[in-house]
Chain A
Amino acid sequence: MLRQASRLLSRSVAAGTSKSATARGFSTEVPSTIDSTFVESWKKVAPNMDPPQTPSSFMKPRPSTASSIPTKLTVNFVLPYASELSGKEVDMVIIPATTGQMGVLPGHVPTIAELKPGIMSVHEGTDVNKYFVSSGFAFLHANSVADIIAVEAVPLENIDASQVQKGLAEFTQKLAAASTDLEKAEAQIGVEVHSAMNAALTG
């Protein structure tokens, strides 16, 4: 009896979803209410079983965007091995995006930014905390929450300037001597990272 139920069910589900698929907006706007056409078809076929749950029914609802711009930006800055900042309320962060230094204020338009090696600074009142970020991503949400993830982020004082100079010279030389595409790419990465560190220490 249950084998028949799945066949009958797939028939009715196919009819149900083809109608609702065309009317669907962005997946973020689909309400968490269950599709009533599906539930009705299910009850006709298997009245004693609960309709199956979908993954979205287990998810917490997306936090609502405040109608007025909040005064503070909430920053979550995480690394693979540690959580640097967690839910910290700040005035502004400046992140080293691939498109340039990007200043993020509360109420920033939702953005996903890829980060290049550079300085990230967190401004809270008159305090400024600077980190050198190796690379990563920044997710800016509509509710003024910024999630910044990086593989390595170090305070500028922990960087050794002489090593940076040595590395820069070494990779500039490797770039000139490189033959294959891969070697060139690796040398170029080296030059970029070391120049960024150099600029961070001197600038």
Chain B
Amino acid sequence: MASSAAVPFWRAAGMTYITYSNICANLVRKCLKEPFKAESMNREKVHFSLSKWADGKPQKPVLRSDAPEVSDF
């Protein structure tokens, strides 16, 4: 079966729908007035740790975090 419908331009460039949707949302958030902008930028914060595995063992993890540093008083 040959491919049928014309793909959207972002799919043709190798982007997935989720990436496209997140870029759109990000651009809309950047154009908001304060204080809505500050509230919405909260929604973009991510916190994850990613580690590749080799030979059944996890390698050094990559930590990506926008969470504020917690300080001990």
Binding site for B on A (CB under 8 A): 80-81, 117, 132, 134-136, 151-152, 154, 158-160, 163-164, 167, 181-182, 184-186, 188-190, 193-194, 197
Contact = CB atoms under 8 A, between A and B. Distances in A.
Size category of the binding interface on chain B: 20 to 34
A136 B21 contact: yes
Contacts of B12: 181, 185
Given A134-B24, A135-B25, A189-B20, A163 B13 contact: no
B67 interface: no
16 contacts: A134-B21, A135-B21, A151-B21, A151-B22, A151-B24, A154-B36, A158-B32, A160-B33, A185-B12, A186-B23, A188-B10, A189-B23, A189-B27, A190-B23, A197-B28, A197-B31
Nearest to A182: B13
A81 B43 contact: yes
A152 B44 CA distance: 11
A7 B52 CA distance: 40
A158 B24 contact: no
Given A158-B33, A158-B36, A185-B15, A193 B10 contact: no
B32 A160 contact: yes
A164 B43 CA distance: 20
Interface of B: 9-10, 12-15, 20-25, 27-33, 36, 40, 43
Contacts of A154: 28, 32, 36
A182 B9 CA distance: 10
Contacts of A186: 23
A173 to B, nearest CB: 15
Given A158-B32, A163-B32, A188-B10, 7 more contacts: A81-B43, A117-B24, A132-B28, A158-B33, A167-B30, A182-B13, A182-B14
A182 B14 CA distance: 7
A152 B10 contact: no
A129 B39 CA distance: 22
A136 B22 CA distance: 10
A164 B15 contact: no
Given A181-B14, A189-B10, A159 B24 contact: no
